[in-house]
Amino acid sequence: MTEQALAFTLPAVRSRQARIGRVALRWGLHAMLVLFALYYLMPLFAMVTTSLKSLEEIRTGSLISLPRQITFDAWRTAWSSACTGIQCEGLRPFFWNSLLMTVPAVIISTVIGAINGYVFAHWRFRGANLFFALMLLGCFIPFQVVILPMARMLGLMGLAGTLPGLILVHVIYGVAFTTLFFRNYYITVPRELVRAAKIDGAGFFRIFWSIFLPLSLPIVVVTIIWQFTQIWNDFLFGISFSQSGSQPVTVALNNIVNSTTGVKEYNVDMAAAIIAALPTLLVYIVAGKYFIRGLTAGSVKG
Amino acid sequence: MAPILEIRRAYKNFGSAEILKDINIAVQPGEFLVLVGPSGCGKSTLLNCIAGLENTTSGAIFIGGQDMKGVSPRDRNIAMVFQSYALYPTMSVAKNITFGMRVRGVDQATKERKLREVAAQLQIEQLLDRRPAQLSGGQRQRVAMGRALVRDPALFLFDEPLSNLDAKLRVEMRSEIKKLHQWLGRSMVYVTHDQIEAMTLASKIAVMKGGVIQQVGTPSQIYNRPANIFVADFMGSPAMNFIPARVYRDGACAKVEIARPGHAPLVLNHPAARDLPDDVIVGLRPEDITEAGFRPGSEVQTVECMIDTVEPAGADTYVISHLGGRQLTARLHSDTKARPGNTLPLAFDLNKISYFQPESGEMLN
Amino acid sequence: MADWLERHVPKIIVAPTFAAVLVFVYGFIGWTAWVSLTRSRLLPNYEFDGFIQYERLFEAARWYTAMNNLYIFGALFIVLSMIIGLGLAILLDQRIRAEGVLRTIYLYPMALSMIVTGIAWKWILNPGLGLESMVKGWGFESFSFNWLVDPKMAIFTVVLAAVWQASGFVMALFLAGLRSVDEEIIKAAQVDGIPTWRIYTAIIIPSMTPIFLSAFIVLVHLAIKSFDLIIALTGGGPGYATDMPATYMYTMAFSRGNLGQAASSAVVMMMVVFAIIVPYLYSELRAKYD
C-alpha cells in the first residue's frame, strides 16, 4: 500500500534485544490503532445496541451491553409513528423530503460545477481569476450571514418553506464547491489537447462533450458523493427555510429527540438517528475512497 | 511564386514583456522552415501565432496569400503536431485521426478512405483500435502526424515533436519526418531547440534569440556564414571556438595577433584580415583545427598547442587546449597520439575563420 | 456573429453563477451588514442607526459567554483534532496491513450529520444512563461524569463530540501529506543513519506546513459553523452555558425576533472567519497566479 517504507526495518545484523524491542513496538503500534478504532466505533455500537433494546432493558442494562432481547419496535416507531412536533408520522415523510431535496440539488449543482470548472480551467477571460477568487472566498463564509436575507428573498419569490426553495438554496451555495472540484480536475488536462481540438475544428461545447466529459467519471463520482453528504446532512438551511411539511430528515430527527414531551424513548431516538444517517453512511461504505478523495481534493491541493 | 506563409513586422507583447520583435519571414511552397533557438526565444509563440492559437500584438500573417487576421485556427488550412502529441485520451487511434473530419461533417466513405490512406502511409494500420495510453512514444507521434496528415492542409506546423522521445527514437523519427516531407512536398514549419534537427531537416533555418530573428538562411549558409556570434555559437556541436585577437596591418599583409600570457603572441598571417577593425574575435570551428599534416589546404598555419584534456568520441577525438585566455577545441582523428600535458602541432585552416565584432557580435567578413 | 458568440461563450456560461455569487453571497452579506446597523426587530427597518446593535451585542452577557465558548471550543477542537489526526496518520503510515479498514473506521464520522453525532454523544454522555452509569456498573461507584448538565463543563462535551467527528478527516489529510514527501529525501536520510523518529520530526513534519495550514483552515471553518452539533447535543444549555455565536444568532433571528442582533452577531462571526481565511486565501492565490 505504501512504497514509502518507514516501517521499523533494521539491517540484518542486530542484537536479539533490539529485535524484541522492535516486535514490542510493533505490537504497541497495533494496540494503539485498535484502541482508537474502538473509540470511533463505540458511539455507533452504542447507538445500534440501544436501538434494539426495550426501554426497560435500557434502564437496567449498560451503555454497551448487547441487547438481551432484540426488538425492532423502536425502529418501527421511529419510521412511522414518532412525533416531530405536532405530527406523529415518524421519519418516513421527512426521509422522503430529504430525498426529493437532495437528489435534484446534487444533480444540478454538479452539472453547473462541471461546465463552470471547464471554463475556469481552459478558457481564460479578463477577470476570470478575480471571479474565481471571489467564488472561492464565498465558500468560507459562515452561512449565518446569509440566512436572514435569503429567508426574505425566498418569501418574495413565493418559495418560503417549500422544497424547491431548499433545492435552490443548496444549489446556489453548493456551486462554489463543485466548480472548485471540477476546475482542479480539468486543469490537469493538458492545454495542448484543447489546442489540437481547436485546430481540428471543435468549438467550446464540442470540446467539452467529446473530450472532457468522457474523462470526467472520477471527479463526477467524488463531487456527487461530496454534495450528497453535505446536502443530506445539512441542518441549518433545513431548519431556517422549511416548514413542518417540507422539513428534511435532519430537522425531523432533531425534533423527535429534543422535543420535550413525555417519556424519553432513547431506543426510538437512536433508531431515528441511524435511519437519518443510513444513506450517507452507506454511500461512504460503498464509495469511501472517493469520499476521501473529495475531502482532500480542495484542501491538499490548496 | 507566392509564398505559402508570410509574416510581416509581427510583434507580440504579453503585458510588458516583448516576446516577439519585428518578425519577417516568408516560406515558399514546399519549403521546410525550422525555427530554432534556446528556450524562451519565442519560437513556440511564433508558431502559435501562425496557427491562430494566439494573436499578434501588431503585424500581419498571410497564409496562402490571405490575411489571417481574425481567422480561427480551424479555418487556416493548417495542421499541427504537438510536443506531447496531444492525442484525445478517451478515443481510439482511428477516432483520434478522424475527429476533425467528424466535426466538419465529412461523409463516412471519405472518412474511411482517408483514414486508410494515412494509416498505410505511416504504418499504423494495426494500431487503429488502440487507445493512446496503450501506445509507445514513437507510435503516438505517428498517430499525431496521422491526425495532421488527414487534414491535407497547405501548411504543417510542428512544435518540438521529438523532444519527448529518447535519443535513438529521435534519430529514427527525424528521418521519417524528412522522408515524409520529400514524399508529400508540402510546406512545413518546424520548431525545435535542437540544432542538429534543424540542420538535418530544414531547407531554410531561422535562428531566434530573445524574440528577434538572428538570421534566416539555408543550413549551409547558417553554418558556414553565421551572421553573428550567437548563431555561430548555437549551431554546430561542439561549438565554434571564439578567441579575442588584434589585427595589425603591414602593407599588403595583415597579421592577426592572439595574446598568450607567458609566451610570445601567436601571429596568424591572414591577408584577408586587412579590412578588419583593430579588435576582433576570431571564430574557428573544431573541425577546422586538425593535426598538422593531416589537412592539405592553401591557407593553413601550424600552431604548437599544449593539450589540456583529450575526449575520445568514437569516430573522432576532441582535444581541448587553450589559446588567448579561452578554451580551444580541436577535432582530431580517433587514432591521434595526443596526450594531456604534451604539446601538439595543430593546423588552423585560415580560410574557415569567421571574424566577429567584439561588442555587437556581428560577423565582419 | 457566430465568431463573436464563440469568443464570449465562456463568459456567458459562468455569468449566471457570477450573478448568483454576487447577489446571494456578497449582496446578502451587504444586506445583513446594513441591517446590523439599524434598529430592526421582527421586520427589517432600513433606517441607518449607527453601531448600536454592536454596542448591545458586546454588552450582552450571553454574547460574552458565546464568544468565550467559541474561543475555548475552537482552540481545544483544533489542537486536539490536529494532534490526534497527526498521531493517527503517523501510526498508519507504518505499513499496517489493515490500513484500509482502519482508515475507513477513523473517517466514517465525517459522513454523519452533526445532528446524528450530537444525538449519539448526548446519549453516551447521559448522566445516569450513559457512560457514567456504565463505568459505575463496572464497580467504580464514585465515578461521576455529568459534564453534560454541568454549566462549567458542558462546553467540553461539545469538544469531545466534535473531535470525534473531525479527527479522522484531519488524519486523512495528514496521511496524504506524509506520503507526498519525496521518497528520495527519506532514503538519503536513512542512508545517513538518521533514526526514524528523527526523520519525522526534522524532515517530514516541517515539509507538511501547507497541509497543516489546510487542516487548520478547514477546522476553523467547522468550528465556527458548529451550529448543528450544539443544537443536538446541548441545545445551547444548560441555560446558555454552551451557547456559541451561531446559536445566539439563530435564537435572535427566529425565536426572539430581533433581526438587528441577529444580523450583528452574524457579521461578527463573518469577521472572525475572514480575519483568518482572507490572508490565507490571498497568499495561496498570489502564489498560484503570479
Extents of the domains making up chain C = 64-289
Q: Is the pLDDT of residue A24 over 70?
A: yes
Whether residue A4 lies inside any domain: the answer is no
Burial (CB < 10 A; 0-12, 13-18, 19+), residue B39, is: exposed
- Domain containing residue B199: 5-234
Whether residue A84 lies inside any domain: the answer is no
* Cβ separation C25–A129 shorter than 8 A: no
C7: nearest CA partner in chain B: B72
Confirm or reject contact between B15 and chain C (CB < 8 A).
Answer: no
* Cβ separation A199–B99 shorter than 8 A: no
The pLDDT value recorded for residue C199 is 81
> Does B219 lie in the same domain as B323?
no
How far C266 CA lies from chain A's nearest CA (Å)?
5
> Does A100 lie in the same domain as A26?
no
Sign of the Cα pseudo-torsion (A107, A109, A111, A117, in order): negative
Separation in Å, CA A4 to CA C92, C94, C179: 12, 9, 7
C33: nearest CA partner in chain A: A145
Q: Which residues pair with B190 in a beta bridge?
A: B34, B158
Q: How far apart are the first and last CA of chain B?
A: 32
Q: Is the pLDDT of residue A302 over 60?
A: no
> Could you confirm whether domain C64-289 is CATH 1.10.3720.10?
yes
> Does B163 lie in the same domain as B83?
yes
Q: Is the pLDDT of residue A30 over 50?
A: yes
- Look up residue C71 and give its amino acid: Y
A135 and A179 Cβ atoms separated by less than 8 Å: yes
Looking at the 3D structure of chain A, how many domains does it have?
2
Out of B168, B199, B234, a domain closes at B234
Q: Give dist(CA A251, CA A237) in Å, integer.
A: 10
Residues in CB range of A280: below 8 A, 6 or more apart: A228, A229, A232, A233, C111, C112, C113
A201-220 residues touching B, CB cutoff 8 A: 201-202, 206, 210-211, 214-215
* Cβ separation B88–A190 shorter than 8 A: no
Whether residue A11 lies inside any domain: the answer is no
> Does A209 lie in the same domain as A116?
yes
Of C13, C26, C266, which is closest to A115 when you measure between CB atoms? Answer: C13
For residue C279, is the peptide bond before it cis, meaning its omega torsion is within 30 degrees of 0?
Answer: no
How far A2 CA lies from chain B's nearest CA (Å)?
25
Instruction: Measure the CA angle with vertex A257, ends A255 and A258; round to 5°.
Output: 65
C279: nearest CA partner in chain A: A137
Whether residue A253 lies inside any domain: the answer is yes
C4: nearest CA partner in chain B: B70
> Does A107 lie in the same domain as A66?
no
B286 and B292 Cβ atoms separated by less than 8 Å: no
A219 and A181 Cβ atoms separated by less than 8 Å: yes
C21 and A134 Cβ atoms separated by less than 8 Å: yes
B254 and B247 Cβ atoms separated by less than 8 Å: yes
> Does B193 lie in the same domain as B157?
yes
> Does B177 lie in the same domain as B44?
yes
Q: Which residues pair with B208 in a beta bridge?
A: B213
Q: Which residue has the cell 482552540?
A: C75
C231: nearest CA partner in chain A: A254
Whether residue B365 lies inside any domain: the answer is no
B270 and B361 Cβ atoms separated by less than 8 Å: no
- Spans of chain C below 50 pLDDT: 290
Question: From the CB of residue B65, how many other CB atoms can be counted at a distance below 10 Å?
Answer: 10
Whether residue B361 lies inside any domain: the answer is no
- Spans of chain B below 50 pLDDT: none
B67-106 residues touching C, CB cutoff 8 A: 70, 72
Q: How many CB pairs under 8 A join A and C?
A: 279
SS (H, E, C) chain B: CCCCEEEEEEEEEECCEEEEEEEEEEECCCCEEEEECCCCCCHHHHHHHHHCCCCCCEEEEEECCEECCCCCHHHCCEEEECCCCCCCCCCCHHHHHHHHHHHHCCCHHHHHHHHHHHHHHHCCHHHCCCCHHHCCHHHHHHHHHHHHHCCCCCEEEEECCCCCCCHHHHHHHHHHHHHHHHHHCCEEEEEECCHHHHHHHCCEEEEEECCEEEEEECHHHHHHCCCEHHHHHHCCCCCCEEEEEEEEEECCEEEEEECCCCCCCEEEECHHHHHCCCEEEEEECHHHEEECCCCCCCCEEEEEEECCEEEEECCEEEEEEEECCEEEEEEEECCCCCCCCCEEEEEEEHHHCEEECCCCCEECC
> Does A289 lie in the same domain as A173?
yes
A257 and A74 Cβ atoms separated by less than 8 Å: no
Of A192, A198, A200, which is closest to B84 when you measure between CB atoms? Answer: A192
What angle separates helix C114-124 from helix A266-300, to the nearest 10 degrees?
Answer: 130
B81-110 residues touching A, CB cutoff 8 A: 82-84, 86-91, 99-100, 103-104
> Does B211 lie in the same domain as B337?
no
> Does A131 lie in the same domain as A36?
no
Out of B234, B261, B281, a domain closes at B234
Out of B177, B209, B234, a domain closes at B234
Q: Give dist(CA A41, CA C280) in Å, integer.
A: 35
How far A146 CA lies from chain C's nearest CA (Å)?
5
CATH number at residue B70: 3.40.50.300
* Cβ separation A2–C24 shorter than 8 A: no
CATH number at residue A281: 1.10.3720.10
Whether residue A234 lies inside any domain: the answer is yes
What is B162-174 written as a DSSP string? TTTS-HHHHHHHH
| pTM for the predicted model, two decimal places | 0.82
C113 and A277 Cβ atoms separated by less than 8 Å: yes
> Does B208 lie in the same domain as B107?
yes
Q: Give dist(CA C264, CA B354) in Å, integer.
A: 80
Residues in CB range of A79: below 8 A, 6 or more apart: A90, A91, A92, A271, A275
Of B82, B84, B100, which is closest to A200 when you measure between CB atoms? Answer: B100
Cell numbers representing residue C250 in the block:
439563530
B97: nearest CA partner in chain A: A200
* Cβ separation C14–A257 shorter than 8 A: no
A216: nearest CA partner in chain B: B90
> Does A63 lie in the same domain as A181?
no
> Does B210 lie in the same domain as B262?
no
Looking at the 3D structure of chain B, how many domains does it have?
2
* Cβ separation B72–A190 shorter than 8 A: no
The pLDDT value recorded for residue C214 is 82
Mean pLDDT on A184-200? 91
Confirm or reject contact between B71 and chain A (CB < 8 A).
Answer: no
Cell numbers representing residue C86 in the block:
497527526
> Does A169 lie in the same domain as A67?
no
3-state helix, strand, coil in chain C (%, to 5): 75, 0, 25
> Does B264 lie in the same domain as B193?
no
Nearest to C258 by CA among A237, A144, A241, A148: A148
What is A58-116 written as a DSSP string? HHHS-TTPPPSS---HHHHHHHHT--BTTB---SHHHHHHHHHHHHHHHHHHHHHHHHH
Whether residue B83 lies inside any domain: the answer is yes
Whether residue B192 lies inside any domain: the answer is yes
* Cβ separation C181–A4 shorter than 8 A: yes
Q: Give dist(CA C68, CA B114) in Å, integer.
A: 75
Residues in CB range of A164: below 8 A, 6 or more apart: none
Q: Give dist(CA A236, CA A143) in Å, integer.
A: 8
For residue B238, is the peptide bond before it cis, meaning its omega torsion is within 30 degrees of 0?
Answer: yes
Residue B294 has φ and ψ, to the nearest 5°, of -90, -20
More confident residue, A298 or A242: A242
DSSP state of A242: B
Residues in CB range of B167: below 8 A, 6 or more apart: none
The pLDDT value recorded for residue B129 is 92
Whether residue A295 lies inside any domain: the answer is yes
Q: Is the pLDDT of residue A208 over 70?
A: yes
CATH number at residue B338: 2.40.50.140
Whether residue B226 lies inside any domain: the answer is yes
Q: Give dist(CA B111, CA B99) in Å, integer.
A: 10
How far A262 CA lies from chain C's nearest CA (Å)?
17
How far A6 CA lies from chain C's nearest CA (Å)?
6
> Does A65 lie in the same domain as A108?
no
The pLDDT value recorded for residue A294 is 62
- Domain containing residue A66: 16-71
Selected residue of C3, C7, C8 to mutate for chain B interface (largest B Cβ count, 10 A): C3
* Cβ separation B147–A210 shorter than 8 A: no
Separation in Å, CA B325 to CA A23, A48, B245, B328, C127: 66, 87, 11, 9, 91
Whether residue A5 lies inside any domain: the answer is no
Model confidence over C57-107: pLDDT tens digits? 888 888 998 899 999 999 999 999 999 999 898 888 887 777 888 888 888
Nearest to B282 by CA among B310, B241, B339, B230: B241
Whether residue A79 lies inside any domain: the answer is no
C263: nearest CA partner in chain A: A145
Residues in CB range of B39: below 8 A, 6 or more apart: B193
Model confidence over C205-240: pLDDT tens digits? 777 888 888 888 888 888 877 888 999 888 877 888
Cell numbers representing residue C283 in the block:
497568499
Q: Which residue has the cell 469568443?
A: C7
Sheet containing strand B289-291, strands side by side: B289-291, B343-349, B300-306
Q: Which residues pair with B302 in a beta bridge?
A: B347
Contacts with B50 from chain A: Cβ below 8 Å: none
Whether residue B155 lies inside any domain: the answer is yes
Q: Give dist(CA B341, CA B319) in Å, integer.
A: 11
The pLDDT value recorded for residue B294 is 66
Residues in CB range of A21: below 8 A, 6 or more apart: none
Q: Which residue has the cell 561549438?
A: B239
Cell numbers representing residue C159 in the block:
469538544
Mean pLDDT on A43-72? 83
C48-77 residues touching A, CB cutoff 8 A: none
Question: Which chains touch A (3+ CB pairs under 8 A)?
Answer: B, C
* Cβ separation C6–B70 shorter than 8 A: no
Length of chain A: 302
The pLDDT value recorded for residue C218 is 83
Whether residue B194 lies inside any domain: the answer is yes
Cell numbers representing residue A43 in the block:
458511539
Confirm or reject contact between C108 and chain A (CB < 8 A).
Answer: yes
How far B167 CA lies from chain A's nearest CA (Å)?
23
> Does B245 lie in the same domain as B230?
no
Cell numbers representing residue B327 in the block:
578554451
Contacts with A175 from chain C: Cβ below 8 Å: 17, 20
> Does A115 lie in the same domain as A33?
no
Sign of the Cα pseudo-torsion (C210, C212, C215, C218, in order): negative
* Cβ separation C289–A129 shorter than 8 A: yes
DSSP state of B363: B
Of A123, A138, A257, which is closest to C119 when you measure between CB atoms? Answer: A257
> Does A128 lie in the same domain as A36?
no
Q: Which residues pair with B355 in a beta bridge?
A: B282
